[in-house]
Structure 1
């Protein structure tokens, strides 16, 4: 029996879009929270390029998860 080898390619030097299959540099941070799993102050993040910002925002928004969309250059992680 053989098993696939893990991906040993180096990590990208710049943050990349979280959309499946996209390797474009990220421009946006989508801060979200699943209220069934996370405390109200907790923020998870997805990164988005210009092309995928609306799609990813809509995906999170229809579920009531999206909390904020901020340009990557302006993003400051919440303390704690």
Structure 2
């Protein structure tokens, strides 16, 4: 299910991120997103310098 607040759509994207102040460089946290919220969540993470990459769900890590 999408990580956007209040969204109940199926997630099709995995946004892999980390906070460099808290996590080691190889650590990846994951938010999942539907098509409607992918861009918004990517922008949120990118503005903070956290976004590392985005892949379709089900792709190898």
> Scaled by the length of structure 2, what TM-score is found?
0.96
Q: How far apart are 1:43 and its partner, in Å?
A: 0.1
Larger radius of gyration: 1
* Unpaired stretches in structure 2, ≥5 consecutive residues: none
- RMSD of aligned C-alpha atoms? 0.7
Q: What corresponds to 2:29 in structure 1?
A: 44
Q: What corresponds to 2:46 in structure 1?
A: 61
Corresponding pairs, count: 61
- CA–CA separation in structure 2 for the residues paired with 1:37 and 1:23: 29
- CA–CA separation in structure 2 for the residues paired with 1:21 and 1:71: 21
> Scaled by the length of structure 1, what TM-score is found?
0.74
Structure with bigger RCO (C-alpha 8 Å, 6+ apart): 2
Stretches (4+) displaced over 2 A? none
